[in-house]
Structure 1
């Protein structure tokens, strides 16, 4: 079956001599793994750069329901990204978020158009974002919860299901604002406060979604700090 869909690339791995297996969150099919044939061949007319994290593509997919691994038949850029992959801080945040997002999407192998629209809109905003860049990952993870069925009504919900102590009143107020305000919200916080907030959010998702600790966490922290 041929399926046309937009898709957000999360990661890829080499497959065979010239191909890759890309993990993509698609609007029409949810999260899945797709073979992209001959993209690493010297004769390929398209660059593997199309499969950088958070790239948004227009896809033609060859889908067979009896298979777990599907195939990308054709692809092209849907929305060119100008800053995410060139800026060190943005690229580090992207690497971290695509790892966490992939783990959260393990159960989203059917269409979730509201979640897809949220993710695509967030990526487009992030690419152009000038203020509050260092807070984007916190806002993204706080805002995405309801789309995954993990509603975060207030910050107390984040900490009540973990073994962590609740944050100070000041930090709780900051987290409330990060959750409610649009991307780009600027606020001063210490390195320790930002790390504690992120640890609390990750432990919340580890408790509810049973995800492992992200391997890219320390890289992110070294860049932000």
Structure 2
């Protein structure tokens, strides 16, 4: 058992028994870790607060990490970047719920990846501090594929379609994994941009939904662990 000082981002929290939570976090020091937080739901619980474990909350903590694959324990915890708008804005809230679910099924590694951690941290601070965020989740997920190992190969951009399975541009539109025409055109708008250029991308409600479906299919083809997010419906309702 090792005592670890680490920053962490909450991916999920599930009620365990009457008063406890099982919390899954992405930690800066050791990747994905799961913690049992006993008694946190008791009405007069001192110290660790249940509010710390809302999706995508950024924490700083001292934790006991087991080597035996059992649940870990948090000794001390505080909120590292208190969000100003994420938990009060309905659109951002729905987005966060959706993204935490996608991250939970996409990232499995129990190992350090500081560049991925830095990406998550900066992306969520960006979401918290900006207003024009309707396409945030699309660019967030697309750019995340770079850290997960399947960002689109941009080398043959003049071809007329994109092969979701191979992750490259393609002219063979008969292949069931190739998107072309409008699907391809809308998807292509996001390639190679960062959050500060997000305002230059415009989508109608239907186009946004279409691109999200394409990205979800892309994830499903590349990640064995990927599950279709249950919160997708909530997101679609908020945007409709």
Query: Would you say same fold, with TM above 0.5?
Result: yes
Aligned equivalent of 2:106, options 104, 107, 112: 104
- Conserved 8 A contact 2:142-2:151: no
Aligned residue number for residue 66 of structure 1 = 68
- For the aligned residue pairs, the C-alpha RMSD in angstroms reads 1.9
Task: Decide whether aligned partners of structure 1 residues 37 and 184 sit closer, same or farther in structure 2, where only a CA change above 3 A counts.
Answer: farther
Aligned residue number for residue 20 of structure 1 = 21
Deviations 1:197-224 (A, max 9, x none): 1111111110010212111111101101
Aligned residue number for residue 181 of structure 1 = 194
The answer for unaligned runs of 5 or more in structure 2 is 167-175
Separation in structure 1 between the aligned mates of residue 181 and residue 103 of structure 2, nearest angstrom: 24
Which 10-residue stretch deviates more, 181-190 or 114-123? 181-190
Aligned residue number for residue 43 of structure 1 = 44
Aligned residue number for residue 180 of structure 2 = 166
Task: Decide whether aligned partners of structure 1 residues 160 and 28 sit closer, same or farther in structure 2, where only a CA change above 3 A counts.
Answer: closer
Separation in structure 1 between the aligned mates of residue 163 and residue 141 of structure 2, nearest angstrom: 11
Aligned residue number for residue 195 of structure 1 = 209
Aligned residue number for residue 121 of structure 2 = 120
Aligned residue number for residue 130 of structure 2 = 129
**1:175 positional shift:** 2.5
Separation in structure 2 between the aligned mates of residue 84 and residue 126 of structure 1, nearest angstrom: 8
TM, length-normalised to structure 2: 0.85
- Conserved 8 A contact 2:22-2:34: yes
The runs of at least 4 consecutive aligned structure 1 residues that moved more than 4 Å come to 155-158
**1:158 positional shift:** 5.8
Aligned residue number for residue 86 of structure 1 = 88
Separation in structure 2 between the aligned mates of residue 13 and residue 206 of structure 1, nearest angstrom: 24
**1:159 positional shift:** 3.1
Q: 1:208 aligned to 2:222?
A: yes
The answer for unaligned runs of 5 or more in structure 1 is none
Count the aligned residue pairs: 221
**1:41 positional shift:** 1.3
Separation in structure 2 between the aligned mates of residue 43 and residue 173 of structure 1, nearest angstrom: 52
Separation in structure 1 between the aligned mates of residue 141 and residue 32 of structure 2, nearest angstrom: 18
- Conserved 8 A contact 1:152-1:158: no
- Conserved 8 A contact 2:162-2:179: no
